[in-house]
């Protein structure tokens, strides 16, 4: 069994080093039982699962060498009941989309329809919610009354506008025909008009940013646009060197997803505090939550049904993308390396890669990694003074781990039978998870 363990979990590069360098997660000392290198060592250091195949629960149960979000919060603020972030931010986000539409005032009716298409009030407003909660938490930490400053709410609007503009452009690049349960802009109006609409939304966000009048904030949020472009270019390429793929994936994940959340959180902290430590806390919280959010998103591409995702399952594979579950599955199925290099372009590649991922522990390991980033986010935000908003941000890390693309609050996990007969015999074997929407 020891030989099989070593064979299954040989490392393929300095994955842990990549995580620390790219994403700001501090490495903990290695325990005596953490053996091996690469991804195998990463997961062994992180979490040791306790199997409960027959007991359904809201989240998987683990014995962890890292504190859970609940543990972190209780240790810092033991008498606090974690607040629901959605209800707590609801008042600040009221009329958010109507206010965004006012920023997009144009005389041409068709351009207005294009720009207003995704601002229909049916989005989850995940990023603006984080921004307003972080703003209030930083205000209270800085001995203010906690009320949201007008400029801070503007940043929440700007973050949603930048995010939506990036979605419009992504849909053109990917040739997507569905977004948020509705036909994409490029399918309704065509690619050329979709690109122009994305550009116009981005220009309106830039004008709103300039009106804030704080050069530090302008600089921080301008970095987001650069990161989005660089991240998209990174996604269009692949690393031939297997040891560099995971670092490339995490860096791309940060630039495309987490940079907007991290820098928006930092921007609202700059408006209320001159303390660089507060700025760093806000930035690191957003960075870690953003990476965890995308890791869960990549995991759901393999575990959710198409009607929950709002797009066909295995969509990332069909786009030629090797996400976390695939990269982890390479540890057990080296055949995936050649598929990655040809971007799953040969006949049968998508189906074979899908099967390899589900037969491996790729999904479970991606889940473990997302938990680690959420633990780090909790550790960072717990450094702020206690407040309902700070506790809501802690609660949000739990919701990120149990999210569904349809609604991040309404979700439960159903355990299937454990894959006891497969050839892997290492102690990280865990029941497969099927993520289902709770109606």
Q: CA geometry: angle at 156 spanning 150 and 157, to 5°?
A: 90
Distance CA 296, CA 427 (A): 23
Q: State phi, psi for 124 to the nearest 5 degrees.
A: -80, -15
Q: State phi, psi for 189 to the nearest 5 degrees.
A: -110, -10
What pLDDT is attached to residue 438?
25
CA 33 remoteness from chain centre: 30
Torsion angle (degrees, nearest 10) of CA 208, 209, 215, 216: 150
Q: Which helix (H) or strand (E) holds 410?
A: none
Tally of domains in the chain: 1
For residue 415, list its beta bridge partners.
433
Instruction: Spell out the residues 6+ positions from residue 388 whose beta carbon is closer than 8 angstroms to its own.
Output: 83, 88
Positive or negative, the Cα torsion across 53, 55, 56, 61? negative
Sort strands 411-415 and 433-437 into parallel, antiparallel or unpaired: antiparallel
Tokens of 285: 């919280």
For residue 379, is it within any domain? yes
DSSP single-letter state for residue 237: -
pTM above 0.95, yes or no: no
Tokens of 214: 């704080």
What pLDDT is attached to residue 402?
87
For residue 120, is it within any domain? yes
What is the number of alpha carbons within 13 Å of residue 256 lying toward its C-beta? 20
| Residue in the structure block whose two tokens are 């033991």 | 78
Classify 310 as helix, strand or coil: coil
Range of the domain at 369: 68-437
For residue 413, list its beta bridge partners.
57, 435
CA 11 remoteness from chain centre: 25
For residue 58, is it within any domain? no
What pLDDT is attached to residue 81?
58
Classify 391 as helix, strand or coil: helix
Q: Which helix (H) or strand (E) holds 406?
A: none
Positive or negative, the Cα torsion across 126, 138, 260, 239? negative
For residue 412, is it within any domain? yes
For residue 183, list its beta bridge partners.
178
Is residue 141 a contact partner of residue 393, using CB atoms and an 8 Å limit? no
Question: What is the full per-residue pLDDT of the chain (439 aa) written as tens digits?
Answer: 333 333 333 343 434 454 454 445 444 433 333 333 344 333 333 333 323 333 333 333 333 333 343 333 334 443 345 678 988 999 999 999 999 999 988 878 888 888 888 888 777 789 999 999 999 999 999 998 889 999 999 999 999 999 999 999 999 998 988 887 789 999 999 999 999 999 999 999 999 999 999 999 999 999 999 999 999 999 988 777 777 899 999 999 999 999 999 999 999 999 999 999 999 999 999 999 999 999 999 999 898 754 454 455 688 999 999 999 999 999 999 999 999 999 999 999 999 999 999 999 999 999 999 999 999 999 999 999 999 999 999 999 999 998 765 443 333 322 222 333 233 323 233 332 222 222 2
For residue 36, is it within any domain? no
Cα-only R_g, the chain: 21
Distances (CA, A) of 268 to 264, 338, 374: 7, 45, 21
Q: What is the DSSP string of 321-375?
A: ---HHHHHHTTT-TTHHHHHHTTT-STTHHHHHHHHHHHTTHHHHHHHHHHHHHH
What pLDDT is attached to residue 20?
52
For residue 47, is it within any domain? no
Tokens of 409: 């609050």
For residue 296, is it within any domain? yes
For residue 15, is it within any domain? no
Classify 13 as helix, strand or coil: coil
Is residue 93 a contact partner of residue 156, using CB atoms and an 8 Å limit? yes
What pLDDT is attached to residue 110?
86
CATH for 303: 1.10.600.10
């Amino acid at each position: 069994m020891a030989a099989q363990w070593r064979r299954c979990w040989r490392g393929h590069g300095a994955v842990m080093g990549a995580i620390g360098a790219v994403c700001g997660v501090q490495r903990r000392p290695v325990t005596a039982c953490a053996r091996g290198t690469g991804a195998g060592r990463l997961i062994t250091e992180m979490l040791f699962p306790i199997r409960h195949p027959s007991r359904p629960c809201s989240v998987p149960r683990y014995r962890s060498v890292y504190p859970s979000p609940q543990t972190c919060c209780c240790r810092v603020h033991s008498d606090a009941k974690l607040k629901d972030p959605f209800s707590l931010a609801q008042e600040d986000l009221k009329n958010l989309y109507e206010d965004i539409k006012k920023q997009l005032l144009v005389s041409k009716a068709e351009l207005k329809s294009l720009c207003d298409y995704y601002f229909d009030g049916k989005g989850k407003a995940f990023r603006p919610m984080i921004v307003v909660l972080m703003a209030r938490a930083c205000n209270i930490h800085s001995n203010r009354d906690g009320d949201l400053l007008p400029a801070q709410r503007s940043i929440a609007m700007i973050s949603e506008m930048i995010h939506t503009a990036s979605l419009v452009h992504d849909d053109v690049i990917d040739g997507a025909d569905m977004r948020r349960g509705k036909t994409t802009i490029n399918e309704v109006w065509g690619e050329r008009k979709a690109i122009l609409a994305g550009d116009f939304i981005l220009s309106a966000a830039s004008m709103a940013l300039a009106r804030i009048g704080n050069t530090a904030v302008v600089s921080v949020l301008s970095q987001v646009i650069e990161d989005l472009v660089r991240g998209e270019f990174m996604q269009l390429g692949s690393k031939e060197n297997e040891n560099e793929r995971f670092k490339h994936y995490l860096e791309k994940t940060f630039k495309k997803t987490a940079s907007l959340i991290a820098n928006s959180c930092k921007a609202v902290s700059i408006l209320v505090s001159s303390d660089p430590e507060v700025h760093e806390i806000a930035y690191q919280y957003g960075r870690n939550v953003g990476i965890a959010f995308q890791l869960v998103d990549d995991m759901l591409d393999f575990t959710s049904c198409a009607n929950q995702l709002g797009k066909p399952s295995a969509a990332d594979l069909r786009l030629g993308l090797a996400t976390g579950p695939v990269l982890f599955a390479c540890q057990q199925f080296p055949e995936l390396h050649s598929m990655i290099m040809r971007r799953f372009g040969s006949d049968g590649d998508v189906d074979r890669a899908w099967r390899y991922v589900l037969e491996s522990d790729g999904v479970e390991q991606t889940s473990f990694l997302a938990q680690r980033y959420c633990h780090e986010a909790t550790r960072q935000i717990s450094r702020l003074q206690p407040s309902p908003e700070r506790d809501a941000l802690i609660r949000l890390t739990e919701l990120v781990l149990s999210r569904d693309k349809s609604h991040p609050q309404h979700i439960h996990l159903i355990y299937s039978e454990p894959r006891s007969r497969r050839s892997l015999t290492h102690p990280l074997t865990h029941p497969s998870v099927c993520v289902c929407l709770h109606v």
